[in-house]
Chain A
Amino acid sequence: MRTDVGLTRRELLTNIAKAGVPAAMAATVGVKAVEAEESIPAPNVPLGLLYDATLCIGCKSCEVACNEANNTPADTDAEGLHEAPTDLNVFTRNIIKLYKPEGNSPSSFVKRQCMQCFDPGCAAGCPFEALYKDSDTGVVRWEGSRCIGCRYCTITCPYSVPRFQWRGINPLITKCELCSHRLARGLKPGCTSVCPTGAVIFGPRPALLLEAKRRIKNNPGRYYQDRVYGETDNGGTQCLYLSRVPFEKLGLPELGPEPVPAKQLRWQRRIYEYFALPAALYVGLVAVIRKNLAAHEEEAHQLEKETGLRPQL
């Protein structure tokens, strides 16, 4: 159904934008915030998606395209007839959901997939760096040979994105990796290549951010708080959202500008900085225990002499 043409007009724009990335990056707030955070190096070209919920018609072609691009089976209902996932799962890295409140308030579709955070909670918690941020594209990727399957990422992700395969002897963690295998071949991610209304577009984050701001400027009052979700939220995400309804209704929590890992692990990280404090503690412990142990052994041997009982240390 989808033809992989060599270079579309949008991809051409994308490539042009890529060339101007360093300049554009310096101009964006989110990246600045990340650059201030020393522990997380900013990617060379942060790639992402811009999803405009006001343009989405809920056709779900992106779900099908995602399955096709990632070679995941369709998540069908009991009859095996129609693709009907109710949430992200091990077969579904990308899903269209509908927020429909009671009454006359506006409803909205929402596309959910990995946000590709600048400071990803999943990678912050991953013990052996199985989830890591690609240094070029900033895409959060999963390396199966380092994953122990602890499922901590399913708890640390503030957007509840990573999914664990609950069946089988070789379970995988699945999440949107922005079709990195397609990017390497010069192709766009599956979802953006089929969207009929342009509700989701792909590109370098600075270019997407400029586009989002342009839309907000050109359509006053159309977007919630005239704000781009992901510009600063959770320290900035590479996937950006525009919406008519409050972001929280779409499952995008208001996390504040500070990334969750940096905020929550502030003290933890200070305590373990360079491992200096534990090392100092260890040296002190050795000194104290050596002294106490020597005294104890001396007492024990003294008692052995007096009582004839073999010491029990």
Chain B
Amino acid sequence: MSTASTNNGPATRPFKTSADARTRWERFVPAFGFPILNRFFLLLVSLTLLALLLTGYREIAGLGPASGMNDKFGWGIWKTFNVVVLTALGSGAFSVGVCAWVFRRRLLFPLMRMALLTSMLAYVCGLCLLGVDVGRPWNFYWVLFPWRWNLHSPMAEVAICMSIYATVPLLIENLTPILERLWYLNVPLRPAIETLEHVLHKCFPFIISLAYLLPAMHQSSLGALMLLAGPRVHPLWQTPLLPLLYLGAAAFMSFGCVAGTTMLCCVFWRRAMDMDVLNEAARISSWIIFGWIAVRILGLLVVGSLGTAFHLNEFAGIFWTEMFLIGYGGWLLRGSLKDQKWQSMWLGYLFSTLGGMLYRFTPTTLAYMPGPKAIYFPSTIELLVAIGFATAGIAGFLLMVKACAILPATLQEWRDMTSYFTVHEPFVMWKQYLNFGFVDYKILDNADLSRSYVKTNHD
């Protein structure tokens, strides 16, 4: 820990010194002091309840009356949007995680809990809706019988990998903040929790590796799904690189989702933004974006279907919309690295993510041509259910962010939280962690935070 005793004091990031300790993300801190139940939350929950009610109708009446799906378009937005698109948004645990833990971009650690949470919610909501969407869900138990797996089928990979991924590695990884909350709030439970954490840490290398392998497989297999549709998918999308491009799109979309959502939370709950971390994320994200664009164009050149991008039709329009959104997003991200404007960084994430969402959606629906006169438009019930399962994820996010330490924050924020809890919930046992509880505003105003804090702690 040689760097730990530099001017900025001991940070949880000993490898990098930030210019300003007041914006340095060093702890995960819940969005404390805000009621979980508010009007917006109730709106989200009621939309979800409505969706659950409508799924009851779908189960009884069948898919036909409840949705716009038909013999030509066998798949509707429940699969093509809630599963194919939204789980790509929720690949943060994979993409941010691989950068942080495999390639050791340690600046990204503060984003990991956001990544894990968004991933879990996106996958759980997507899988639940998949259960509603499939016609014979009671046969899903075959997932447990490997000799029945058709390993040559992309659909099998998706079904098996996704359900294992969401139920084992993601849930276990997301236990950490929940156990932490229990540790702070239930003193008698602490020994048990510490034992459990110890066991978990022993298992983590295996679980985390699984958590990187499985999404790499199924996010690419989601692209491979449409390979089998052959010429019925427009040649601008139907290339042998489709699985790789789906994986790449998931990578930059999830960076956008994780970093963009974190920034939004910082603005909304008035927290400091650590530009070191955000710059790192934006840098990586922009490189993925430019690499992705290059691979896509090169792939189309090799296959020889780039020419169709210059035809005057709706497919070329969709293609250029995707490319513009993704490319402009990447350009904004690069620009934000220079001028340090978080606004343009956020817009960069927004555009590139929207472009990625469109790209993931198009081959399954917009560029899928199952025959002349084939039309699909989601029915009202279908839309409401799709929305309801997405709002369930958002509601779960708000709940978790307020109840558990998910959002990255400064030490100052951590201290504010401890002060808040000592006043508002004095029964919470903070043990030795209280000794830096109340903030000494004089010290705050005058001196370096971390330094003063170390002094008080060691006195």
Enumerate chain A interface residues (CB-CB to B < 8 A): 39, 87-89, 121, 123-130, 144-152, 154-156, 158, 160, 163-171, 253, 255, 260-261, 264-269, 272, 275, 278, 281-282, 285-286, 288-290, 292-293, 296-297, 299-300, 302-303, 306-310, 312-313
A-B contact pairs, 29 of them (CB 8 A): A144-B136, A147-B135, A149-B139, A150-B134, A151-B74, A152-B74, A155-B75, A155-B228, A160-B370, A164-B71, A164-B74, A164-B135, A165-B135, A166-B63, A167-B61, A167-B64, A264-B227, A264-B228, A278-B213, A281-B213, A286-B205, A289-B209, A293-B205, A296-B106, A303-B12, A306-B10, A307-B10, A310-B180, A312-B180
Q: How many Cβ-Cβ contacts under 8 Å join chain A to chain B?
A: 218
Q: Chain B residues near A148 (CB, 8 Å)?
A: 134-137, 139-140, 142, 159
Query: Closest Cβ of chain A: how far from B262's Cβ, in Å?
Result: 16
CA distance in complex: A88, B157 (Å)? 29
Closest A-B pairs by Cβ, 7 of them: A149-B135, A166-B64, A154-B74, A127-B156, A149-B136, A285-B209, A151-B74
**Contact yes or no, B457 A289, CB < 8 A:** no
Task: Choose one: B27, B226, B371; the contact of A312 (CB below 8 Å).
Answer: B27
**Contact yes or no, A278 B217, CB < 8 A:** yes
**Contact yes or no, B208 A293, CB < 8 A:** yes
CA distance in complex: A267, B228 (Å)? 12
Q: Chain A residues near B148 (CB, 8 Å)?
A: 128-129, 146
**Contact yes or no, B155 A87, CB < 8 A:** no
Assuming the contacts A87-B71, A154-B71, A268-B154, asked whether A290 and B227 have C-beta atoms less than 8 A apart, the reply is no
Q: Chain A residues near B208 (CB, 8 Å)?
A: 285, 289, 293
Q: Chain B residues near A299 (CB, 8 Å)?
A: 1, 14
CA distance in complex: A169, B136 (Å)? 9
**Contact yes or no, B240 A168, CB < 8 A:** no
Contacts beyond the supplied A121-B228, A164-B71, A268-B227: 9 A-B pairs with Cβ under 8 Å = A127-B149, A146-B139, A148-B139, A155-B226, A166-B65, A166-B71, A264-B227, A296-B109, A313-B201
Q: Chain A residues near B71 (CB, 8 Å)?
A: 87-89, 154, 163-164, 166
Q: Chain A residues near B195 (CB, 8 Å)?
A: none
Judge whether B243 is part of the interface by a CB distance below 8 angstroms. yes
**Contact yes or no, A149 B137, CB < 8 A:** yes
Judge whether B59 is part of the interface by a CB distance below 8 angstroms. yes
Task: Choose one: B101, B201, B371; the contact of A160 (CB below 8 Å).
Answer: B371
CA distance in complex: A267, B136 (Å)? 30
Task: Choose one: B62, B160, B217, B229; the contact of A168 (CB below 8 Å).
Answer: B62
CA distance in complex: A169, B201 (Å)? 45
Task: Choose one: B75, B156, B206; the contact of A286 (CB below 8 Å).
Answer: B206
**Contact yes or no, A125 B149, CB < 8 A:** no
Assuming the contacts A286-B209, A306-B454, asked whether A293 and B134 have C-beta atoms less than 8 A apart, the reply is no
**Contact yes or no, A156 B152, CB < 8 A:** no
Query: Closest Cβ of chain A: how far from B5's Cβ, in Å?
Result: 9
CA distance in complex: A282, B212 (Å)? 9
Binds A, one of B44-52, B292-300, B308-316, B428-436: B428-436
Q: Which of A124, A128, A158, A293 has the most CB of B within 10 A?
A: A128
**Contact yes or no, A288 B204, CB < 8 A:** no
Task: Choose one: B65, B204, B228, B435; the contact of A265 (CB below 8 Å).
Answer: B228
Question: Which single residue of chain A is at the shortest CB-CB distance from B158?
Answer: A127
Q: Chain B residues near A293 (CB, 8 Å)?
A: 101, 201, 204-205, 208
Question: Which single residue of chain B is at the shortest CB-CB distance from A266?
Answer: B240
Query: Closest Cβ of chain B: how far from A237's Cβ, in Å?
Result: 15
**Contact yes or no, A308 B436, CB < 8 A:** yes
Task: Choose one: B4, B62, B454; the contact of A166 (CB below 8 Å).
Answer: B62
Q: Chain A residues near B225 (CB, 8 Å)?
A: 125, 152, 155
Task: Choose one: A125, A145, A167; the contact of B153 (CB below 8 Å).
Answer: A125
Query: Closest Cβ of chain A: how far from B214's Cβ, in Å?
Result: 9
**Contact yes or no, B27 A309, CB < 8 A:** yes
Query: Closest Cβ of chain B: how far from A257's Cβ, in Å?
Result: 14
Q: Chain A residues near B405 (CB, 8 Å)?
A: 312
Q: Chain B residues near A306 (CB, 8 Å)?
A: 1, 4, 10, 454
Judge whether B70 is part of the interface by a CB distance below 8 angstroms. yes
Q: Chain B residues near A297 (CB, 8 Å)?
A: 201
Query: Closest Cβ of chain A: how far from B306's Cβ, in Å?
Result: 20
Q: Chain A residues near B210 (CB, 8 Å)?
A: 282
Q: Chain B residues near A171 (CB, 8 Å)?
A: 62-63, 135-136
Q: Which of B1-26 contact A (CB under 8 A)?
A: 1, 4, 10, 12, 14
Assuming the contacts A148-B140, A307-B457, asked whether A155 and B74 have C-beta atoms less than 8 A apart, the reply is yes
CB-CB contacts of B219-235 with A at 8 A, as 1s and 0s?
A: 00100111111111000
CA distance in complex: A310, B194 (Å)? 12
CB-CB contacts of B393-434 with A at 8 A, as 1s and 0s?
A: 000000000000100000000100000000000000000110
Q: Chain A residues near B137 (CB, 8 Å)?
A: 148-149
Q: Chain B residues near A169 (CB, 8 Å)?
A: 59-60, 62
CA distance in complex: A128, B148 (Å)? 5
**Contact yes or no, B10 A303, CB < 8 A:** yes
Query: Closest Cβ of chain B: how far from A133's Cβ, in Å?
Result: 12
Task: Choose one: B10, B102, B180, B228; the contact of A260 (CB below 8 Å).
Answer: B228
Judge whether B150 is part of the interface by a CB distance below 8 angstroms. yes
Question: Which single residue of chain A is at the shortest CB-CB distance from B227?
Answer: A264
**Contact yes or no, B10 A268, CB < 8 A:** no
Judge whether B187 is part of the interface by a CB distance below 8 angstroms. no
Judge whether B176 is part of the interface by a CB distance below 8 angstroms. yes
Q: Which of A163, A253, A286, A297 has the most CB of B within 10 A?
A: A286
Query: Closest Cβ of chain B: how far from A158's Cβ, in Å?
Result: 6
Assuming the contacts A126-B150, A127-B150, A146-B148, asked whether A158 and B230 have C-beta atoms less than 8 A apart, the reply is yes
